[in-house]
């Protein structure tokens, strides 16, 4: 309560400061940035006190103070803070990659791959079917049957994606490291790659069937480079980081941010997928460095990421268009329900095939959150098909908003039911030895 | 920018950074000095005047984060101004420190005003502003170097005590000088009504820090877990720096007050200081990177004024120290060379120069920035060793002056 009162005073103080701003200086950014950190931090604490994940608090503060509700963080400032989001995604991807140790990949790889493929396939089929049923009632599916099926499949290909950011942030918050946590993380990371491939394939087929009016976009070769190139570039970056850690392992806090920044720049210059590049870099760094060096670097990155995470989720909340959510709820709710059903069914089938039924009962709850890559894919679609792309994006962001609010709560509940909240992490190599 | 060219620039920047880092690392081990020159070089290489990886637009978009680094330095200085500790320090140390610092500011400002007006040439009133900024920069002494030297000093003599007080006092005076400049040359805000006067800007500047510090004290309560303290403190400092930057007053003064209020109201001042120190080096290096990236060759002939500043500063520092000690009757205790220990400069000098540059409407920003950067790089390399040498010299002199053991009594 004390913090809420202080927040009110800060808000009032900001209103006093705003008229004193100098025209054209454009530096409301830092003021808003600071306020968002404090507000999101406070909301996160309130959420934690209510037994909810802190991320929910961060998101809620973004919604509340963002341009669509109170407007404390106006749309141009939220847009200007985009580099913070990019940095956050880079840090998240690097940290996610660094979470994967080779012994663990070998021990759990088959189960992760089976669950991922099964879950994505079932989810994709169910969502495509739903799109075909809804048909022309959605603006972007209007047209002949061919268009309805093609754009329905494209929408489904985007909609099945998960959120590494939410998964990793929750694992950081809860310090969970048991089988459900590790399998969920693995599925989320692998599915990112699979979804990009699937989306590219569906887009290529759609392009052949319905030639785009917008930018030509990437061809098949470009898409393959985007994926494989990311692995190559990320691998090289990871090797360079590991080499640096061997020579000079000082000032790691700053170095972590520089690595994330350079990773984003290099990925942009080489036209490869940023998330996958940083993910590979994190994986290579962790598995090539000496254990103590990799650990020290990961700790430094976690420390530098902590305030960035808070703002990242607050910004994600600020972009949730509450008006769209209320306007499109009649479409959004069925899509979310079918998606969750697809995740549940696909995960259970995959877990049974991989002979890990216990994990199959809970992992699906960690796969509901959405963000990151999916928004990028929606932008690619909007670029290729400008007349339908914006409508796809609007509906999709409304779906993401709902999933983003429900997902973290479900994942935390899954970790609680698995008894992994604040449990000591599993030693994968020991587990492998036992197997 | 083409892919090949872009990648090449990344590789060049990386190679230059690692090369200079290894070189400076070797220098550090060889000469026991600490330097951030490789970060400055990296900034220059990445900046718009070399590789162009950081374009002018990118730099402008990063300007708020530079303000944060500047504000963080102010908070660190403020958080060390803990009243119960300050009142225990003898008044003579303050007298020597303040007189020495003000004399340095006055001497450098006077000489640089004449030099700039004559060399460039400029009207007197136009030359006075950058000269005063250089005077403020000149009085900055590296508190870090004094701390490093104090840790390895044979004992805590009067020179060390004086250096500690002088370094802290000169930091506060330097911040007051730049805040004064920014308040005097303030651009009128967009809002309706009468624009604030210079005094009102100064009060608003300090008020942001005081109110921010008090509110954050209430916000923090007893929550002093290291990680949470860091996140919330980062948020509060960003907010205070952002507010100061938004209305174009000095983030340094606002955060100085913020740090001081917080450190004097909390039950755990050491944790506040520790939390601020946690990112001291990274932010200092970030400041150097942005300093390097913002640097560009001046349209004016800058070499002579900068070289003159470097010489005048050292002369003024040493001369002012001697005069101040003499006037206060402390020369026998401190010796004539004591203020050589204040020659080293730290991140605050770069922070002040960048505050000056970011104001946009002040004359000769590049001369001020170049002078600050060169002064920091040249003197930081030597400062800790200089203080160590000075303390060893005073220690040996004290032993020589001590009475010989009385053998008869034994």
Which pLDDT does position A205 carry in this prediction? 79
Distance spanning both ends of chain B, measured CA to CA: 84
Contacts of B234 in chain A (CB under 8 A): 37, 307
Give the closest of A22, A265, A307 to B189, CB-based: A22
A73: tokens are: 């963080």
pLDDT per residue rounded down to tens, chain B (410 residues): 455 555 555 555 565 566 656 666 666 656 555 556 667 777 777 777 776 767 777 777 677 677 778 888 999 999 989 999 999 999 999 999 999 999 999 999 999 999 999 888 889 888 999 999 999 999 998 877 777 767 766 667 788 889 999 999 999 999 999 999 999 988 877 766 788 898 999 999 999 999 988 888 888 776 667 767 777 888 888 889 888 888 888 899 999 999 999 889 888 788 888 878 777 777 777 788 888 888 776 656 678 888 999 999 999 999 999 999 999 998 888 888 888 888 888 788 989 998 998 887 888 888 998 899 888 878 876 666 677 677 676 666 655 555 544 444 33
Whole-number CA gyration radius for chain B: 22
Q: Please check whether the domain covering B63-399 is classified as CATH 1.20.1530.
A: yes
Cβ of A254 and B246 within 8 Å? no
Interior CA angle at A368 toward A137 and A56, to 5°? 105
Counting Cα atoms < 13 Å in the Cβ hemisphere of B90 gives 8
| Nearest chain A alpha carbon to B284 | A254
Rg (CA), chain A: 21
**Secondary structure class of A414 (helix, strand, coil):** helix
Measured distance CA(A320)–CA(A58) in Å, rounded: 12
Q: Do A17 and B208 touch (CB under 8 A)?
A: yes
| A96-132 as b/e: b if 16+ CB within 10 A | bbbbbbeebeebbeebbbbbbbbbbbbbbebbbebbe
Place of tokens 């600050």: B372
SS3 call for B243: helix
Kindly report, residue by residue over A146-174, the tens digit of the pLDDT: 878 888 888 888 888 888 878 887 887 77
Task: Please say whether the beta carbons of A325 and A332 come within 8 A.
Answer: yes
B215: nearest CB among A10, A27, A257 = A10
List the helix and strand counts (H, then E) for chain B: 17, 0
DSSP code for A248? -
C-alpha separations of B166 from A203, B93, B292, B317, B325 in Å: 68, 8, 29, 11, 12
A386: CB partners within 8 A, 6+ apart:
A213, A214
Q: B324 and B150 in contact (C-beta within 8 Å)?
A: no
Measure CB to CB from residue A31 to each of B10, B239, B279 and give the nearest one.
B239
Q: Is A270 at the interface with chain B, CB within 8 A?
A: yes
Q: Do A13 and B68 touch (CB under 8 A)?
A: no
> Could you say which of A31, A36, A310 has the minimum Cβ distance to residue B246?
A31
Residue closest to B10 by CA, chosen among A249, A244, A270: A270
Pairwise CB contact (< 8 Å): A240 & B14: yes
Which residues lie closer than 8 Å to B149 by C-beta, 6 or more apart?
B160, B163, B341, B384, B387, B388, B391
Residue from the list B61, B204, B221 with its beta carbon closest to the beta carbon of A80: B61
Q: How far apart are CA B341 and CA A323, in angstroms?
A: 64
User: CA angle, A193 as apex, A189 and A198 as ends, to 5°?
Assistant: 135
Cβ under 8 Å to B: A residues 395-414? none
* pLDDT surpasses 90 at A345: yes
Burial status of residue B360 (CB atoms within 10 A of its CB: 0-12, 13-18, 19 or more): exposed
* B323 to B174, B330, B343: CA distances (angstroms): 20, 10, 16
From chain A, pick out residues whose CB is under 8 angstroms from the CB of B185.
none
CA distance B245 to chain A (A): 7
Instruction: Encode A295-308: b = buried (16+ Cβ within 10 Å), e = exposed.
Output: eebbebbbbbbbbb
Q: Which two tokens stand for residue A346?
A: 């696909």
The pLDDT value given to residue B408: 40
Task: Name which of A153, A260, A283 is nearest A206 in CA terms.
Answer: A153
How far off is chain B from A394, nearest CA to CA, in Å? 28
Q: Which CATH number fits domain A84-434: 1.20.1530.20, 1.10.3720.10, 2.40.160.20, 3.30.450.20?
A: 1.20.1530.20
* Domains of chain A by residue range: 2-80, 84-434
Which member of B215, B238, B285 has the closest CB to residue A30?
Answer: B238
What is the value of pTM for the model shown? Answer: 0.77
Q: What is the pLDDT of residue A221?
A: 67
Q: ipTM greater than 0.90, yes or no?
A: no
User: Residue B189 and residue A9: Cβ atoms within 8 Å?
Assistant: no
Number of Cα atoms under 13 Å in the Cβ half of residue A153: 17
CA distance B183 to A171: 48
Instruction: Give yes or no for a contact between A337 and A134, defined as CB atoms under 8 angstroms apart.
Output: no
**Burial status of residue B11 (CB atoms within 10 A of its CB: 0-12, 13-18, 19 or more):** exposed
CA B347/CA B199 separation, integer angstroms: 27
Is B7–A269 a contact, with Cβ atoms under 8 angstroms apart? yes
Task: For residue A77, give the chain B residue with the closest CA.
Answer: B61
Contacts of A80 in chain B (CB under 8 A): 61
């Amino acid at each position: 309560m004390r913090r809420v009162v202080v927040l009110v005073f800060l808000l009032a103080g900001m209103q006093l400061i705003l008229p004193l701003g100098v025209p054209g200086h454009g530096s409301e950014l830092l003021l808003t940035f600071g306020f968002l950190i404090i507000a999101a931090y406070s909301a996160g604490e309130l959420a934690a006190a209510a037994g909810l994940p802190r991320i929910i608090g961060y998101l809620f503060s973004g919604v509340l103070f963002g341009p669509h509700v109170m407007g404390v963080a106006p749309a141009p400032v939220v847009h200007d803070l985009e580099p913070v989001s990019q940095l956050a995604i880079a840090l998240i991807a690097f940290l996610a990659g660094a979470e994967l140790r080779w012994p663990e990949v070998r021990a759990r790889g088959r189960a992760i791959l089976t669950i991922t493929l099964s879950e994505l396939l079932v989810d994709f089929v169910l969502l495509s079917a739903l799109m075909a049923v809804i048909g022309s009632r959605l603006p972007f599916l209007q047209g002949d049957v061919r268009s309805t099926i093609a754009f329905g499949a494209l929408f489904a290909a985007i909609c099945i994606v998960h959120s590494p950011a939410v998964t990793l942030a929750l694992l950081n918050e809860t310090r969970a490291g048991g089988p459900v946590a590790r399998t969920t993380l693995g599925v989320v990371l692998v599915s990112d790659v699979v979804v990009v491939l699937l989306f590219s394939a569906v887009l290529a087929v759609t392009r052949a069937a319905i030639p785009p009016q917008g930018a030509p976009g990437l061809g098949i070769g470009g898409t393959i480079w985007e994926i494989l190139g990311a692995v190559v570039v990320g691998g090289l970056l990871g090797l360079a980081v590991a080499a640096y850690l061997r020579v000079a392992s000082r000032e790691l806090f700053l170095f972590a941010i520089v690595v994330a920044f350079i990773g984003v720049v290099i990925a942009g210059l080489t036209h490869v997928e940023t998330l996958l590049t940083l993910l590979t870099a994190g994986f290579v760094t962790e598995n090539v460095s000496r254990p103590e060096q990799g650990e020290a670097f990961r700790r430094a990155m976690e420390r530098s990421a902590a305030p960035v995470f808070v703002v990242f989720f607050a910004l994600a909340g600020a972009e949730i268009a509450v008006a769209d959510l209320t306007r499109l709820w009649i479409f959004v709710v069925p899509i979310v329900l079918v998606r969750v059903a697809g995740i549940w069914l696909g995960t259970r089938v995959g877990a049974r095939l991989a002979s890990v039924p216990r994990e199959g009962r809970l992992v699906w709850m960690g796969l509901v959150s959405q963000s990151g890559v999916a928004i990028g894919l929606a932008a690619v679609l909007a670029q290729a098909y400008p007349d339908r792309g914006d409508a796809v994006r609007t509906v999709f962001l409304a779906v993401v908003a709902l999933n983003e609010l429900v997902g973290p709560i479900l994942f935390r509940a899954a970790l609680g039911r698995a008894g992994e909240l604040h449990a000591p992490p599993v030693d994968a190599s020991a587990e492998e030895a036992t197997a | 920018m083409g892919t090949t060219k872009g990648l090449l620039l990344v590789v060049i920047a990386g190679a230059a950074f690692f090369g200079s880092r290894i070189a400076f690392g070797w220098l550090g081990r060889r000469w026991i000095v600490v330097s951030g020159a490789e970060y400055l070089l990296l900034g220059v290489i990445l900046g718009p005047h070399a590789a162009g990886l950081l374009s002018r637009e990118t730099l402008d978009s990063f300007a708020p984060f530079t303000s944060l680094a500047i504000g963080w330095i102010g908070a660190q200085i403020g958080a060390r101004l803990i009243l119960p500790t300050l009142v225990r320090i003898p008044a003579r140390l303050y007298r020597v420190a303040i007189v020495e610092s003000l004399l340095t500011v006055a001497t450098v400002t006077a000489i640089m005003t004449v030099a700039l007006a004559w060399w460039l040439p400029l009207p007197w009133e136009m030359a006075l502003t950058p000269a005063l900024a250089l005077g403020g920069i000149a009085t900055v002494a590296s508190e870090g170097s004094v701390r490093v030297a104090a840790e390895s000093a044979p004992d805590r003599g009067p020179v060390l005590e004086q250096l500690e007080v002088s370094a802290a006092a000169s930091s506060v005076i330097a911040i007051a000088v730049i805040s004064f400049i920014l308040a005097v040359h303030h651009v009128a805000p967009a809002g309706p009504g009468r624009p604030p006067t210079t005094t009102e800007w100064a009060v608003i500047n300090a008020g942001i820090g005081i109110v921010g510090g008090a509110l954050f004290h209430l916000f923090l309560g007893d929550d002093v877990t290291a990680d949470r303290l860091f996140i919330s403190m980062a948020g509060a400092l960003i907010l205070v720096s952002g507010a100061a930057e938004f209305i174009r007053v000095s983030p340094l003064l606002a955060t100085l007050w913020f740090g001081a209020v917080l450190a004097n109201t909390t039950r755990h001042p050491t944790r506040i200081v520790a939390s601020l120190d946690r990112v001291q080096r990274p932010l200092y290096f970030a400041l150097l990177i942005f300093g390097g990236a913002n640097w560009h060759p001046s349209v004016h002939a800058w070499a002579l004024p900068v070289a003159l500043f470097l010489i005048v500063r050292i002369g003024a520092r040493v001369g002012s120290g001697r005069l101040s000690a003499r006037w206060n009757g402390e020369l026998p205790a401190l010796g004539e060379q004591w203020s050589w220990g204040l020659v080293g400069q730290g991140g605050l000098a770069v922070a002040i120069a960048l505050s000056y540059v970011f104001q946009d409407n002040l004359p000769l920003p590049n001369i001020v920035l170049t002078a600050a950067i060169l002064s920091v790089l040249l003197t930081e390399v030597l400062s800790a060793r200089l203080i160590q040498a000075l303390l060893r010299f005073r220690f040996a002199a004290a032993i020589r002056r001590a009475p010989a053991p009385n053998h008869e009594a034994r």
